[in-house]
Structure 1
Amino acid sequence: MRSEPMTFFLNTLKISILVCVISFAPAWAESKAAAQVSIAEVLANIQHFYVDDIDAKKLNQHAIESIFKQLDPHSEFLDQNELEALFNVANGRYTGLGIEVEQREEHIVIVAAVENSPAHTAGLIKGDILLKVNGTSVINQTIKHVSQLINQKQQPQVTLTIARSGHLDPLFFEVERKKIDLKSVRGSINNQGVAYLRIINFNNHTLYDVAKELAHLSQIVAGDINGLIIDLRDNPGGILDSAIEISDLFLESGVIVSTKGRFAEANQEYYAQEGDVLNGAPIIVMINEGSASAAEILAGALQDNHRAQLVGTRSYGKGSVQSLIPLGDGQTALKLTTAKYYTPSGRSIEGTGILPDFPVLQRESEHYAAGDSDSFVNAKVHDLQLEKAWQLLEK
């Protein structure tokens, strides 16, 4: 019986054969035979007949890794621990350092340090390049390998060697693995009734958290919210349903997103239901190159439906959907890219991202508020993108 896939947007990028020709067959026969050969059969013969003893588990792992190298970087095999970690993140909690990373050629680069995480407290920042983990070089290594190095040490302390722009010498950080509760939403509101809402990620609780925060902000001013700034900067994404449901909060009608793939269930259109929690009050959405996946779904849905204007810089450009397909042992799964998503106007943003209506470059020399409610209400922090968003709502 085929397992039903569970669909996620997952932003974390994880993911020799010696041939001896014994005999030849006609091209047509070779092609037909190749199509019928199973990996299990090949591995079984190697294990049974190969001249030396083979570690079956290691051989099987290498075979799996070889298969996924032919696919995109978002598709991978998840073992029991990785699957458990994925579900924990989806439910807003996990044990780790609190860094979001991506692979850029031979380097693993930090794209975000989760707010209030050990990594954030230690001072790790976006753009830091991982050189070593516990003294072991991670250059030209996969994210999966780096994750294993971080988690294999019994002691919770992990030593990271970092290359950082503006520093000639490597930096060293002692970071402790801890249980992290992923707070996905925070907000504030000023005396004019203009609210600020930072969505940090999209997990199973984010819809509830957004609705609860908006109700709380409305109570503070004892009235309606007159305008809203949604900050999606450095939001790496998360769960598809969460992005769709939050988009629907602000839309009366129209397409939110569509997905297209090879199997029937991958082809879907998602529509907004009647009802706008802000009753038409203006919305500004802030994005940058760290806004990806589900964050791009929300930004694209509000932009294409003319419900919000976008401020900031071009978003990341992850326009694919990953589905979890449980395997027969009940403890492992495949995470496969099964569809591409399209904004309401039919745009695929894979590799191109979403362009803001008002491009504003945040200079590195200036502080990025990153959801600091005091900086929004009291204007203590010079954040060009936030200032532009405020100006647009004042018009």
Structure 2
Amino acid sequence: MIRKISLLLCGVVVGAGLSSTFTYAPWTGTNLSIGNANAATSDTFRHINLFGDVFERVRKEYVEEPTDKDLIAAALNGMLTSLDPHSSYLSPESFEEMAVETSGEFGGLGIQVTMENGLVKVISPIDDTPAHAAGVLADDLITHLDGEAVRGLNLTEAVDRMRGKVGTKITLTIVRKEVEQPIKIDITREIIKISSVRSKALDDIGYVRITQFNGQAFDGLKNAIAKLEKEIGSDKLKGFVLDLRSNPGGQLDQSIAISDTFLDQGEIVSTRGRNKDEVKRYYARAGDLTKGLPVIVLINGGSASASEIVAGALSDHDRATLIGSKSFGKGSVQTIIPLGNNGAIRLTTARYYTPSGTSIQAKGIVPDIFIKQELPDDLKDRFPQTSQTEANLRGHLENTDKASGAKKEAQKDGNKDAESDLKKDEAKKTDAPKADTKDAKDPKEAYSPSYVPPEVEKDTQLQYALKLMRGEESNEAFPAKKMASK
């Protein structure tokens, strides 16, 4: 049996520009027997016959001879993409790349690269990797890989050639500034882990940014918290800012574990499929790794799927204050079904719900405090002037959730906190002084570019969060209700 891989939640999928929540499942085949006499009279069989007729006509009469493989792949993808924006067929190459992205590790060299004038330019070697140990430097230009010219390859092709089986060698030919002759460097590939967690001590506040919920995210968060506690000192640490802005999502188990990091108990998320009895609930375990310190979560229009699960769980449990702008609104679950050597299909199989029983599908999560992030003048033409959300995607699933229905369903399914969560005082969601209301009737849903400045001092949303936590600003939404009662 083809193995089951259960991934859920990759918001704005890398390379596709869309968010998705996904799980892996085995391929069990089909119950349709084409040779069955009963099936022969069914509508399903007649439609399959129609497909076969069209397929044969295209094979024989199209102006240029197509390959059967390409026709079938396109047909599969067309069938799946017609369902919603997040269902699709993954070619073997795309499936392999997705597996690398979600696992967070691969066999490679450990360098961040880009293309410049047809050559591969090193942005930076990653610390403690083969490339770093071999002496590869930032701004090096890679001209050849194992003696073959890089010029003519695109970035993806070049990266694919640098990746490979652990223990195998590759020779890089490098042109370096102020060095007359090209340099040849032999490097042995090792396991490279993609770090999706970055942290820094901002005086007395711990700042943690998660860029993607890959397989390394939870461990990265645990290490970041321990590092910040040691660096700042547990007696001086005022709290944590968890930055989920422009985080497209990732694996469900990672979003659950990261939510659990800040919670002692209660439901984190539930998923519901086509049938009403297809409900799965995920709960927090005892033990808050942040020891109950105040938490602020930053979100924006690029925060999708797994990011929204974490933000929704911490908000519903009054564990964190949300600051920024409304999230993307991706509230569905995709199951990845491997097809042996033929790639995989990504199929939407469920919706997910926050602990209060609320679906954020095509709605998003509204922050407690809206802060608009201004754009530098040189970037204003590169960002859309209106929100790009799940609701803007053609063919998106509608949000069928009704508050009263969600409440009854949550209570019926045994979520004891549902009623109090659903009665949460919406008045606590307020506008900070810099709120911009011109783009929405509700000021908390106003538009803000999904831009995260690299400089802390220019980051309006982060700066407000820091001032709030230090008591330099005040807002009724902070500390979160649960914190305020302590």
Q: TM-score, normalised by structure 1?
A: 0.68
Q: Over alpha carbons, which structure has the higher Rg?
A: 2
Query: Cα distance 1:94–1:351, how it changes in 2: closer, same or farther (>3 A)?
Result: farther
Equivalent residue in structure 1 for 2:370, among 342, 355, 359: 359
Unpaired runs of 5+ residues, structure 1, are: 16-28, 96-114, 123-152, 160-174
Q: In proportion to residue count, which structure has more strand?
A: 1
Q: CA deviation at 1:227?
A: 0.3
Distance 1:218 1:40 in 2: 65
Query: Cα distance 1:191–1:60, how it changes in 2: closer, same or farther (>3 A)?
Result: closer
Paired amino acid for 1:297 = I
1:62 equivalent in alignment to 2:62: no
CA deviations on 1:1-55 (whole Å, 9 max, x unpaired) are 686452332322479xxxxxxxxxxxxx999531234648843895499764874
- The 5 Å alignment of 1:243-392 reads 243-262=255-274, 267-327=279-339, 329-365=340-376, 370=452, 375-376=455-456, 381-392=457-468
**SS of alignment partner, residue 314 of structure 1:** coil
**SS of alignment partner, residue 6 of structure 1:** coil
Equivalent residue in structure 2 for 1:216, among 204, 227, 231: 227
Aligned position for 1:231: 243
**SS of alignment partner, residue 339 of structure 1:** strand
**SS of alignment partner, residue 118 of structure 1:** strand
1:206 equivalent in alignment to 2:202: no
- Kept in 1, the 8 Å contact 2:246–2:300? The answer is yes
**SS of alignment partner, residue 42 of structure 2:** helix
Query: Cα distance 1:337–1:186, how it changes in 2: closer, same or farther (>3 A)?
Result: same
Q: CA deviation at 1:191?
A: 3.8
- The 5 Å alignment of 1:21-60 reads 33-37=42-46, 39=48, 42-43=51-52, 46-47=55-56, 52=61, 55-60=67-72
Equivalent residue in structure 2 for 1:189, among 192, 198, 201: 201
Distance 1:248 1:316 in 2: 22
Distance 1:342 1:370 in 2: 27
Q: CA deviation at 1:217?
A: 1.1
Distance 1:119 1:257 in 2: 41
Aligned position for 1:171: none
Instruction: Please tell me the root mean square deviation across aligned C-alpha atoms, in Å.
Output: 3.8
- Kept in 2, the 8 Å contact 1:314–1:353? The answer is yes
Query: Cα distance 1:61–1:49, how it changes in 2: closer, same or farther (>3 A)?
Result: closer
Paired amino acid for 2:458 = H
Paired amino acid for 1:393 = M
Aligned position for 1:393: 469
Distance 1:68 1:154 in 2: 36
Distance 1:49 1:363 in 2: 52
- Kept in 2, the 8 Å contact 1:43–1:60? The answer is no
Unpaired runs of 5+ residues, structure 2, are: 19-37, 122-148, 164-191, 380-449, 472-486
In percent, how many aligned pairs have the same letter? 35
- Kept in 2, the 8 Å contact 1:288–1:314? The answer is yes
Q: CA deviation at 1:351?
A: 1.3
Aligned position for 1:9: 9
- The 5 Å alignment of 1:84-123 reads 84-93=96-105, 118=114
Distance 1:282 1:216 in 2: 18
Distance 1:337 1:31 in 2: 29
Tell me whether 282-291 or 3-12 shows the greater mean CA deviation.
Answer: 3-12
Distance 2:85 2:466 in 1: 38
Distance 2:55 2:313 in 1: 51
Distance 2:58 2:98 in 1: 38
Query: Cα distance 1:280–1:40, how it changes in 2: closer, same or farther (>3 A)?
Result: farther
Distance 1:354 1:49 in 2: 46
- Kept in 1, the 8 Å contact 2:238–2:469? The answer is no
Aligned position for 2:90: 78
Distance 1:117 1:265 in 2: 48
Query: Cα distance 1:265–1:91, how it changes in 2: closer, same or farther (>3 A)?
Result: farther
Distance 1:40 1:263 in 2: 30
Q: CA deviation at 1:188?
A: 1.2
Distance 1:2 1:44 in 2: 30
Q: CA deviation at 1:349?
A: 1.1
